[in-house]
Every structure is written in structure tokens, then in C-alpha cells.
Amino acid sequence: MIIVSGHLAVDPPERDAYLGRVNVLEVWAGQEQLDRFRGSGPSPDQQAALREVAVREWEVEAR
């Protein structure tokens, strides 16, 4: 199982258009499913709007 968590932040003038801070919490069955979902990642416009990205992945075993 893969757990992805963190947040994305944008500059204050962009917050209304981008929602401000986006908290991320995703749970995936495995790396293959996560990679398939991610594809090529955010669009260039999205990347330009991001001022901070703090997202980590953990691989865990379910008990």
C-alpha cells in the first residue's frame, strides 16, 4: 500500500483561482496504480502557480 500526503500552496493573489492551499491524502494499492494515475503530472500552468509543494510517499504493509 502506498500513502501520499502533504500540501500544495500558491501565492496569495492566485488563491481565489487555485483554492489557496490544497491538502493531499491518497491511499493506493501499489506503486503501479499510483504511477498510472499520476501520468505526466500537473500541467505547466499548474506548476507555474505552485509556490510550495510538500508531498511525501510512504510504502506500508497493512496488518
For the chain, the domains span 2-59
Could you tell me the CA-to-CA distances from 42 to 5, 45, 52, 58, 61 in Å, in that order? 16, 8, 14, 21, 28
pTM: 0.67
Full pLDDT tens readout for the chain, 63 residues? 889 999 989 888 888 887 788 899 999 999 999 998 888 778 888 888 889 999 999 999 877
Q: Is 43 helix (H, G, I), strand (E, B) or coil?
A: coil
